[in-house]
Amino acid sequence: MYRDTTHRLNENKAETAEDELRQDYAEKEIEIIDYGIEDVLSSRGRILILKTLAEMEELNISAIARVANLNHSTTTQHLSFLTKVGLVQEKKFGRIKIFRYKIENVKARSLKRLFEIWKNENKY
């Protein structure tokens, strides 16, 4: 009997944890909708990260920080925001995090095109 009760308690805890995760995910989905272009482009650091990833496609945090000339903490915060907005995708391989420019997102494609136009115009 003790074993059955413990098993049921563990199942209830697992279900509660899953419900909390679903709720957190749903709240994050709502947050994504609230961000506008002015929020995304209001930071020089975010723009540098977006330009870096648009050009190089995917990198780890240290490489992004080095190329964008930002410190690790700032880079991590900006990447978290850009992931929530849906312009960047995070992939984990054990302890290593790789961030990828989410080119399938129409906004990301548009920004990449803007960066390319801006870069090419400055060559002349």
3-class secondary structure per residue, the chain: CHHHHHHHHHHHHHHHHHHHHHHHHHHHHHHHHHCCHHHHCCCHHHHHHHHHHHHHCEEEHHHHHHHHCCCHHHHHHHHHHHHHHCCEEEEEECCEEEEEECCCCHHHHHHHHHHHHHHHHCCC
Q: Is the pLDDT of residue 38 over 90?
A: no
Whether residue 61 is found in the same domain as residue 21: no
pLDDT for 30 equals 35
Whether residue 21 is found in the same domain as residue 81: no
- Top-confidence residue, 44 or 14: 44
How many domains would you assign to the chain?
Answer: 2
Confidence of residue 24 (pLDDT cuts 50, 70, 90): very low
Mean pLDDT of the chain: 78
What mean pLDDT comes out for the span 105-114?
88
Domain residues for the domain of 117 are 43-121
Whether residue 78 is found in the same domain as residue 53: yes
What's the predicted TM-score (pTM) here? Answer: 0.67
